[in-house]
Amino acid sequence: MIQTADRLKTVQEYYFSKKLREVRGLMAQGKPIINMGIGSPDLTPSEHVLKAIQNSVFEAGAHQYQSYQGLPQLREAIASFYNKRFDVTADPATEILPLMGSKEGIMHISLAFLNAGDEVLIPNPGYPTYTSVTNLVGAVPTYYDLTEENGWFPDLEVLEEQDLSKVKIMWLSYPHMPTGATATREQFVKIVAFAKKHTILLVNDNPYSFVLNTDPASILSIPNAKDVCLELNSLSKTFNMAGWRVGFVLGSEEHINAILKVKSNMDSGMFYGIQKGAIAALESSDDWFVELNKVYSARRELIFQLADTLGCSYDRDAVGLFVWAKLPEGSVASEAFIDQILYKKDLFITPGTIFGSNGEGYIRFSLCITEDKIKEAIARF
Ligand SMILES: Cc1ncc(COP(=O)(O)O)c(C=O)c1O
């Protein structure tokens, strides 16, 4: 085998990739596994979204390479969506860049702004990709603690005491995954001021604002936030389009241009039909969100019951696509806990530790599972 690059030593196979292989193996042995691990929406996109992609495939030019910046109509639809839903103004010509899912944006932003040795502030617990991408580009992950006691929001006084001179990017994700915590406007104001003071690029990764959340918020609604902030967003969870791979990043023209410089050297545009479907989704009426949340709300009530059965505690006011539950006092560690349930009850739940050491003592249930399956899971106890 040809020797791989050194950077490959900095990352491991994604936990889900490994664990789901094991789960599939158990299924192949005939085990009736119920998978509550991953946040991949099982519901379908709306009818008008499906019609839009269907109709698009017969249009002239539909199968050619597309613009690196996406269709102007897509950028306009994103701008209108942000204006209507978050009261944020962004220029569709210069301040918005469509992405093939927000996950790729994490890599593009890192390639655009990080040199080897730069430090990156990453939430613990948080989305594991921030760490792996930071490592892949030769930068250095520096974790900040999120705890139940501080409302899963960074303690800026503690951060101020650290040497921040090498920090270039800070990843933020509100509503927070995995805990479902939200940030207040005051907290956003404070953290934007902190980023300005230390010349840090603050990136809010915001794919969960529309799931079980009555007050969607964007960090870009803070005055002059664009000076130091970017925001990633995604159609994956909001419109049940995870497999379509549509996301986008908003920010100042200078920051967006830097990301475009990377991205235009990596892909050759997003399929036309997917862009047409994305436009239709972004134009959805309020009813879409009401109906979506009715389903998730009913599922979440059942997940709460399941968590009660397991003796776990949780925050009923948390938002997003998951229930983050604290294990009962004196319980075994998270990974041992979920393994016991996997092997004894054929139920897969995510251990909190895959999101960082502060996830120890917690487990995460996904709401991407039918009510019948959740009831079946409860019955197994
Ligand atoms: C916090 C967070 N950011 C980003 C993503 C990536 O979403 P996508 O690439 O589908 O837009 C996810 C997906 O699970 C996530 O949980």
Q: Are residues 268 and 335 in the same domain?
A: no
Q: Are residues 278 and 321 in the same domain?
A: no
- Residue 50 identity: L
Tokens of 295: 């389903």
Which of 231, 259, 282 is where one domain is finished? 282
CATH label of the domain that carries residue 367 = 3.90.1150.10
Q: Are residues 303 and 165 in the same domain?
A: no
In this predicted structure, the answer to whether residue 13 has a pLDDT above a threshold of 90 is: no
Kindly report which listed range (20-24, 76-80, 216-220, 343-347) carries the lowest average pLDDT score.
20-24
Q: What confidence tens digit (pLDDT) does each residue in 366-381 have?
A: 999 999 999 999 999 9
Task: Give the confidence band of 20 by pLDDT, cuts at 50, 70, 90.
Answer: confident
Q: How far is the CA of 205 from the centre of ligand 1 (A)?
A: 8
Residue 221's H or E segment, with its range, is none
What is the rounded average pLDDT of the residues 330-354? 96
Q: Are residues 278 and 296 in the same domain?
A: no
Whether 207 lines ligand 1, by a CB cut-off of 6 Å, is: yes
- Looking at every residue in the chain, the average pLDDT score rounds to 97
Q: Are residues 292 and 254 in the same domain?
A: no
Q: What confidence tens digit (pLDDT) does each residue in 238-251 have?
A: 999 999 999 999 99
In this predicted structure, the answer to whether residue 14 has a pLDDT above a threshold of 80 is: no
**What pLDDT sits at residue 38?**
87
Q: Which of the listed residues 230, 233, 234, 248 should we mutate to test ligand 1's pocket, taking the one with most ligand atoms within 8 A of CB?
A: 234
Tell me, yes or no, whether 11 lies in a domain.
Answer: yes
**What pLDDT sits at residue 48?**
97
E strands present in the chain: 34-35, 96-99, 119-124, 140-145, 167-172, 201-205, 229-234, 247-250, 313-314, 322-326, 347-348, 350-351, 362-366
**What pLDDT sits at residue 212?**
98
Tell me, yes or no, whether 52 lies in a domain.
Answer: no
Whether 350 lines ligand 1, by a CB cut-off of 6 Å, is: no
What is the rounded average pLDDT of the residues 182-199? 98
Q: List, in order, residues 6 or more apart from 347 with CB less than 8 Å away.
A: 33, 34, 36, 341, 377, 380
In this predicted structure, the answer to whether residue 289 has a pLDDT above a threshold of 80 is: yes
Number of domains in the chain: 2
Q: Are residues 125 and 267 in the same domain?
A: yes
Q: Are residues 246 and 366 in the same domain?
A: no
Tell me, yes or no, whether 53 lies in a domain.
Answer: no
Whether 39 lines ligand 1, by a CB cut-off of 6 Å, is: yes
**What pLDDT sits at residue 53?**
98
Whether 247 lines ligand 1, by a CB cut-off of 6 Å, is: yes
Q: Are residues 314 and 272 in the same domain?
A: no
Whether 127 lines ligand 1, by a CB cut-off of 6 Å, is: yes
Q: How far is the CA of 53 from the centre of ligand 1 (A)?
A: 23
In this predicted structure, the answer to whether residue 221 has a pLDDT above a threshold of 80 is: yes
Nearest atom of ligand 1 to the alpha carbon of 177: 1
**What pLDDT sits at residue 106?**
98
CATH label of the domain that carries residue 181 = 3.40.640.10
Q: Are residues 363 and 301 in the same domain?
A: yes
Task: Give how far Cα 353 sits from Cα of 50, 155, 207, 342, 347, Å.
Answer: 37, 21, 21, 16, 18
Task: Give the confidence band of 57 by pLDDT, cuts at 50, 70, 90.
Answer: very high
Q: What confidence tens digit (pLDDT) does each residue in 65-116 have?
A: 999 999 999 999 999 999 999 999 999 999 999 999 999 999 999 999 999 9
Q: How far is the CA of 142 from the centre of ligand 1 (A)?
A: 21
Tell me, yes or no, whether 80 lies in a domain.
Answer: yes
Which of 243, 266, 282 is where one domain is finished? 282
90 and 250 in contact (C-beta within 8 Å)? Answer: yes
What is the rounded average pLDDT of the residues 159-176? 98
Whether 209 lines ligand 1, by a CB cut-off of 6 Å, is: no
Q: What angle do CA 364, 20, 376 make, to 5 degrees?
A: 60
Q: How far is the CA of 102 from the centre of ligand 1 (A)?
A: 6
Which of 237, 252, 282 is where one domain is finished? 282
In this predicted structure, the answer to whether residue 19 has a pLDDT above a threshold of 90 is: no
Check: pTM over 0.75? Answer yes or no: yes
Structural domain of 311: 6-44+286-379
In this predicted structure, the answer to whether residue 131 has a pLDDT above a threshold of 80 is: yes
Tell me, yes or no, whether 227 lies in a domain.
Answer: yes
Tell me, yes or no, whether 50 lies in a domain.
Answer: no
Q: How far is the CA of 229 from the centre of ligand 1 (A)?
A: 18
Q: What confidence tens digit (pLDDT) does each residue in 265-278 have?
A: 999 999 999 999 99
Q: Are residues 312 and 351 in the same domain?
A: yes
Whether 238 lines ligand 1, by a CB cut-off of 6 Å, is: no
